C-alpha cells in the first residue's frame, strides 16, 4: 500500500493510473456487451433454438446480431428481450451489493453499469425513432408483443434512468423500488406475446 502510494507521487504516475482506469472502465463496458449477448444466446438455447451470428450494417456502422430462425411470438419476445433482462439483473446486482459505488475506485464495475444504462438509452432512442437494422431487439420485442416500438423504448429507458439516478442518489429507496418494478414489468410483457 505504501509502495503504491509512493509510486503515484512520481511524475506521470497519475496519468498512467488515469489511463489504466479508462482501459479498465472500457473493459467493464465490453463485459456488459458480452453479458447482453450471452443473454440472447442462453434464451435461444433454453428455447431449443440454435443461435447464429449475422453481420449487420446501419449506415456507416458495422456490428453483429445474434440471430435465430422464426419462432412463435412468446419465444421471440423472450429471445429479443433477453439481453436487456441480463443487463437489468447485472445492474440490480451491482447497485444492490455496492450502493456506494459512486464513491468507490471501481472502474471495471462502473464500466459495466455504464454500458447497461447507455445501451438501454441508445436502444430506447432507436425504438422511439423506429430506426436501425430490422434485427434490432426493440423491433423484435414490439412485433412479438403486438405493441408499438416506442412503448418498448419507454420500458427500456425508465429502468436505465432510474438506475442512473440510483448511482447518484443512493439514499432514495423509492428509486430502487421504482427501478425494480419497471424491470419486472418489462419481463411481464411476455404475457402480451401470444403463442
Residue 182 falls inside a structural domain: yes
Whether 11 shows a pLDDT value over 70: the answer reads no
Question: Based on the structure, what is the number of domains in the chain?
Answer: 1
Tell me whether residue 159 is in a domain.
yes
2, part of any domain: no
Q: What angle do CA 119, 185, 177 make, to 5 degrees?
A: 85
Domain membership flag for residue 166 = yes
Return the percentage of the chain with pLDDT > 70, whole number: 91
Model pTM score: 0.86
pLDDT at 58 over 80: no
pLDDT (0 to 100) of residue 60: 84
Higher pLDDT, residue 61 or 40: 40
129 in any annotated domain: yes
pLDDT on residue 1: 44
Amino acid at each position: 500500500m505504501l509502495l503504491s502510494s509512493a509510486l503515484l507521487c512520481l511524475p506521470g504516475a497519475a496519468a498512467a493510473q488515469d489511463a489504466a482506469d479508462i482501459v479498465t472502465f472500457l473493459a467493464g463496458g465490453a463485459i456488459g456487451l458480452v453479458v447482453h449477448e450471452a443473454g440472447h444466446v442462453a434464451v435461444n438455447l433454453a428455447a431449443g433454438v440454435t443461435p447464429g451470428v449475422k453481420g449487420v450494417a446501419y449506415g456507416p456502422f458495422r456490428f453483429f446480431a445474434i440471430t435465430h430462425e422464426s419462432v412463435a411470438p412468446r419465444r421471440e419476445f423472450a429471445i429479443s428481450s433477453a439481453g436487456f433482462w441480463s443487463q437489468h439483473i447485472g445492474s440490480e446486482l451491482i447497485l444492490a451489493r455496492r450502493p456506494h459505488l459512486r464513491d468507490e475506485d471501481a472502474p471495471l464495475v462502473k464500466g459495466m453499469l455504464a454500458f447497461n444504462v447507455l445501451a438501454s438509452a441508445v436502444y430506447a432512442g432507436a425504438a422511439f425513432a423506429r430506426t436501425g437494422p430490422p434485427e434490432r431487439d426493440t423491433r423484435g420485442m414490439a412485433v412479438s408483443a403486438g405493441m408499438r416500438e416506442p412503448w418498448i423504448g419507454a420500458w427500456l429507458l425508465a429502468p436505465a434512468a432510474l438506475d442512473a439516478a440510483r448511482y447518484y442518489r443512493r439514499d432514495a429507496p423509492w428509486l430502487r423500488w421504482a427501478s425494480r418494478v419497471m424491470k419486472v414489468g418489462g419481463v411481464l410483457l411476455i404475457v402480451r406475446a401470444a403463442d
